[in-house]
Amino acid sequence: MQNYHTPVLLKESIEALDIHPNGTYVDATFGGGGHSAAILKKMKGGKLFGFDQDSDAAQNIISDERFVFINQNFRHLKKMLRVNGISEVDGMLADLGISSYQVDTTGRGFSFRLGGPLDMRMDKSLSLTAEDILNSYDSERLQKIFGEYGEVRNAKTLAETIVTGRNRNEIETVEAFTELISPVIRGNRTRYLSQVFQALRIEVNDELQALKEFLEQSLSVLKQGGKLVVISYHSLEDRLVKNFMRFGNFTGEATKDFYGKEEKHFRIITKKPLSPTEGEIKNNSRAHSARLRAAEKL
């Protein structure tokens, strides 16, 4: 499990879940199974459902009668729980982003440090790849992706460079792509490329929309008093989580009932998001941008 992915903010996330020994829980991003294993240690009976859209995560399935692995995106939370006879749960945890295994596996296309095809699909059954995006989206659409999802400052120049370059040769590999855009990289090369690859990954996997659907379903799936714990890695995810926990929507604006009283769906547990300690970051550098928010359903 450690080789696949080191669980981030493990102690903090388990404490925030406040696990009932015989409760029903969801690990919405199973991955290497580190969080799931820790949850099971706190349980005596009950059930734990582990979701993961990447079929490679199945290699980490925990042999325990209390554990059920569901090879699906967490946007199908409510449907797949219903299939398993579950309508409500006591808590759910989502560790967003990408696993170390996915980043470090040649051929998946998630890392600009590794060569190979421009894939970036977390679910290998999806049809859209990063290569498709780079070779078919027009300049305006590319600019929007890099500007919004990657917060790339020169997104327009980057998009125009890609369109001009692919007219000469189709962009098929990580190496070809990074070489093509090298002249327009601004500031720190590693940071810039990380933002570009993040934007492509989000578009390929429809990550932000999937997160919205998961959060919206959490309201009907969580029992009263149930805990929602989410670990995010960039401002786009964190903003969605923060607004939903606080307002029950993604606009960041309070809604009021018929009597003018503000509607609240959660009690915020973490007034400010929790961050990894210096020690955790030293042992796992990929944890540095993690932010944990937790809330209890009212």
Predicted local confidence at residue 285, as pLDDT: 85
Query: What does the radius of gyration of the chain's CA atoms come to, in whole angstroms?
Result: 20
Residue 285's contacts (CB-CB under 8 Å, 6 or more residues apart) are: none
CATH fold of 10-100+207-297 reads: Rossmann fold (3.40.50)
C-alpha distances (whole Å) from 120 to each of 106, 166, 180, 190, 247 are: 11, 19, 19, 18, 33
Predicted local confidence at residue 203, as pLDDT: 98
Q: CATH topology of 10-100+207-297 equal to that of 115-205? A: no
Predicted local confidence at residue 156, as pLDDT: 98
Tens digit of pLDDT per residue, the chain (298 long)? 556 778 899 999 999 999 999 999 999 999 999 999 999 999 999 999 999 999 999 999 999 999 999 999 999 999 999 999 999 999 999 999 788 888 888 889 989 988 899 999 999 999 999 999 999 999 999 999 999 999 999 999 999 999 999 999 999 999 999 999 999 999 999 999 999 999 999 999 999 999 999 999 999 999 999 999 999 999 999 999 999 999 999 998 888 887 888 889 999 999 999 999 999 999 888 888 999 999 999 9
Scored b (16 or more CB within 10 A) or e, 130-142 reads bbebbeebeeeeb
Indicate left, alpha or beta for 96 from its phi (over 0: left) and psi (-120 to 50: alpha): beta
Predicted local confidence at residue 2, as pLDDT: 52
Predicted local confidence at residue 226, as pLDDT: 98
Give the global pTM: 0.93
Residue 18 CB neighbour total at 10 angstroms: 17
Domain boundaries, given as residue ranges, for the chain:
10-100+207-297, 115-205
What letter represents residue 240's amino acid?
A: L
Predicted local confidence at residue 177, as pLDDT: 97
Decide if domain 115-205 falls under CATH 3.80.30.20.
no
Burial of 262 (0-12, 13-18, 19+ CB in 10 A): exposed
